[in-house]
A and B are shown apart, each in its own frame.
Chain A
Amino acid sequence: MKQDLLGLKDLSAQQIKNILSHAADMKKVVLSDSKKIPNLQGKTVVNLFYENSTRTRMSFELAAKYMSANAANISSSGSSVAKGETLIDTAETLDVMGTDILVMRHNMSGAPHLIAPVIKASVINAGDGMNEHPTQALLDIFTMIEHKGHIEGLKVAIIGDISHSRVVRSNIHGLTKLGAEVSLGGPATLMPKDIDKMGVKVFNNVQEAIIDADVVMGLRIQLERQKKGLFPSVREYFRFFGVDESRLRLAKPDAILMHPGPVNRGVELSTSVIDGDKSVITEQVTNGVAVRMAVMDMLINGGF
């Protein structure tokens, strides 16, 4: 039976820990002088991206190559997708070309869940609509553990556009399974109904969400949300909901600042905190490669 990674919703706490533990080994490879291990020798990884992406796509591609896999990329504008082929047909076509792992990003929630049951390749969800982005949350949690040593009992504040964020949903699943306390902060217009039922606290006042946090995570604000009237202006957004030095001081003194990227400087985070000593944003990127290596290795060689 092949295994997929569609979301952290589907993983147990132990499975998450297994991935994180393996990622620690993989990070040594990423940081070494000789970034080549044979674990995916002869295997093929295809990145199928229906949305623009720099870091996630590159991260998966390098992770595959560091493990000696064949890696190929498809984006929606340069393929039959643009000719109106259905998602299932596209995925089946790639499947029968000898794909072992299909990494997929799609603008629609549930798209990888549609594909996974109908193809032989293992599917990794690299972000589906507003639903999940499991490898992002895994790298976030991995980074938290590197700095804090554990997840249980940590207070994690996630600030920004909660409604449209797949990162937040995956983090909620992962962090709550591992025993963290999650607080969400952001404007009511970007806070989805009943999200507290996922076991988190909800604040419209970001200061309250940040108080005593061990981890503060900013989420990207997509600027087109303003055009839909979800907030009045970028300036007002930053004034009330942006994370700057004074707000970050409400967190614990040794708190870390995270962001999945790409950052809008001066919108969700001030430039001073992005470049400040609490920021671990660039470490997250390195850890992303390690986590994705771990996930792909485990999907092919034995499971989570």
Chain B
Amino acid sequence: MLSCSLQVAWKTMSKESRMKATINQKLTEMGERERLKELLRAKLTECGWKDQMKAHCKEVIKEKGLEHVTVEDLMVEITPKGRALVPDSVKKELLHRIRAFLAQHAT
């Protein structure tokens, strides 16, 4: 029953999103996603992104008041800035590794 509904879902997906799902599954299965996460975390700490973000968090929290802080609010406030502040060099390195993975496993 479950597999049947999954198959239906699979078929209704567009070709592109199916590809995406497959790649994502592979990334997780091979442990590459964890490795990439770890790499990104290390790089971001190294380049001061984390400190900048924490400073930004402090401002946000002071605005809202200590008691009313939720993870969801923080996410909304912080994610755009987080994306913008990632240095190009870090982006480039991560993209390079992801592309290498894709080239290796998409053939």
Task: Answer yes or no: do A and B interact.
Answer: no
Interface residues of B (CB under 8 A from A): none
